[in-house]
Amino acid sequence: MTSLNQDIREKLSRLNVFEKIIVANTIVYLFCFIALRIQGSGANLEWLSLSKSASEVLSKPWTLLTYGFIHNSFIHLFFNMVILYFFGRSFSNLFKQDISLKVYILGILSGGFAFVLVYNLFPSGILNTVGALVGASAGVRAMIIFLCAYLPNKEVRFFTFQFPLKYIGIAIVLFDIPGLFSQNSGGSIAHFGGYLLGYFYATQFNKGNDIGEFLNRILSYFSRSSSPLKTVHKKKKNSFAGKKKEEFDTFTHQKQIDLILDKIGKSGYESLTQAEKDFLFRAGK
């Protein structure tokens, strides 16, 4: 049993941040599926889903985050996780894992706040007949729009067509507008909360501002990579330009990433050399 646990831990440690999110969502879905079957008819997930009532949210504040890890059906889970997987691969190749996770989490929170805010500002409006909010869509869409806003001119290929990444972002937003007037208007409101967060995060990140910096301390408990520098006991005290070797290596590593990202922003991903693409791939792990 011990060897089995060690084997599972080793396999999980090799996953990137998005693969871990997919595993977490799947485990939560299976847990909720079994729990609902045991409880029988009339059971619900109100202790995890996000209510549109502000008073209920204040009494269960954790639901602003947990709603993003539960899904109504396997199809709902499947499509969210497939989109997360494919866009997550591009995200992981370009950015550190802590940035990826912060965009995703803040997207979920932003989508939840938008859902509750719109209903409480317009209680007789489009959210009047919808129920509680569930699903990871706001976090997934925040991540997509972040990529589209940060690298708007990066060329992407769809079969024989090639076009800038920004057009994918524009198309996704436009296709979501009719949903605001559908039976899933609550989900669409959350999507737009994710869109706004992803766009704002990307524009600020382009200016050198990380709006998710405050999450670093929280994420440090769950991710080993949340802190770029780790405390290591060494006897040697090598210094480079007045800094410790670890600090110098971290600085030069990040500088190289920044230079490559600047090149992508100006000339597109295809302008990178194979060595630069390989470097980004390794840095994203």
Q: DSSP for 112-134, please give it.
A: HHHHHHHHHH-TTSTTTT---B-
Q: What percent of the chain has pLDDT over 90?
A: 28
| Per-residue confidence (pLDDT) for residue 234, from 0 to 100 | 46
Q: What is the overall mean pLDDT for the chain? A: 79
| Per-residue confidence (pLDDT) for residue 170, from 0 to 100 | 93
Element (H, E) at 162: strand 161-164
Is 20 buried (19+), middle (13-18) or exposed (0-12) by CB count in 10 A?
middle
Range with the largest mean pLDDT of 8-12, 109-113, 221-225: 109-113
Please check the confidence at residue 186 and state whether its pLDDT lies above 70.
Answer: yes
Query: Is-contact 265 151, C-beta < 8 A?
Result: yes
Q: Which of 22, 212, 205, 193 is nearest to 102 (CA)?
A: 212
Greater model confidence, 51 or 37: 51
Please check the confidence at residue 237 and state whether its pLDDT lies above 60.
Answer: no
CA-to-CA dists, residue 99 to 21, 77, 88, 118, 213, angstroms: 14, 23, 12, 28, 9
CA-to-CA dists, residue 69 to 73, 81, 281, angstroms: 12, 11, 27
CA-to-CA dists, residue 95 to 67, 112, 202, angstroms: 26, 25, 12
The two tokens of residue 252 are 């030069």
For domain 2-224, the CATH architecture is Up-down Bundle (1.20)
Is 244 buried (19+), middle (13-18) or exposed (0-12) by CB count in 10 A?
middle
- Give the phi and the psi of residue 223 in degrees, each rounded to 5: -135, 130
Kindly list the domain boundaries of the chain, sorted by start residue: 2-224, 237-283
| Per-residue confidence (pLDDT) for residue 108, from 0 to 100 | 95
Greater model confidence, 227 or 177: 177
Please check the confidence at residue 231 and state whether its pLDDT lies above 60.
Answer: no
The residues, ordered by sequence, that sit 6+ positions from 23 with a Cβ below 8 Å of its Cβ are 12, 15
CA-to-CA dists, residue 98 to 164, 180, 213, 223, 227, angstroms: 26, 32, 10, 8, 8
Greater model confidence, 282 or 48: 48
Q: Please report which confidence band the pLDDT of residue 59 belongs to, taking 50, 70 and 90 as the band edges.
A: very high
Greater model confidence, 283 or 55: 55
CA atoms within 13 A on the CB side of 118: 21
Range with the largest mean pLDDT of 178-182, 232-236, 247-251: 178-182
Please check the confidence at residue 222 and state whether its pLDDT lies above 70.
Answer: no
| Per-residue confidence (pLDDT) for residue 226, from 0 to 100 | 43
Range with the largest mean pLDDT of 70-79, 153-162, 264-273: 70-79
CA atoms within 13 A on the CB side of 96: 18
The predicted model gives 132-136 an average pLDDT of 90
Please check the confidence at residue 250 and state whether its pLDDT lies above 80.
Answer: no
- What are the counts of helices (DSSP H) followed by strands (DSSP E) for the chain? 12, 4
Q: From the centroid of its chain, how far is CA 257?
A: 20
pTM for the full predicted model? 0.72
